[in-house]
Amino acid sequence: MILMLGVNNVFKKICSRCVNLSYSSTKNDRWQCPYCLKDLQFERAFHIDHKINYVAISQRLEQLRGIGVYKSQMR
Ligand SMILES: [Zn+2]
What does the pLDDT look like over 10-38, one tens digit per residue?
A: 899 999 999 999 999 888 788 999 999 99
Report the candidate in 9, 38, 39, 41 with the shortest Cα–Cα distance to residue 26: 9
pLDDT tens for residues 29-68? Answer: 889 999 999 999 999 999 887 666 667 778 888 888 888 8
- Please give the distance, rounded to the nearest whole angstrom, from the Cα atom of residue 68 to the centre of ligand 1: 42
What confidence score (pLDDT) does residue 1 get? 47
Q: Where are the domains of the chain?
A: 10-74
pLDDT over threshold 60, residue 2: no
Q: Which residues, by Cβ under 5 Å, contact ligand 1, an ion?
A: 15, 17-18, 33, 35-36, 38
Apex 46 CA angle, 45 and 47, nearest 5: 120
Contact call for residues 23 and 11 (beta carbons, < 8 A): yes
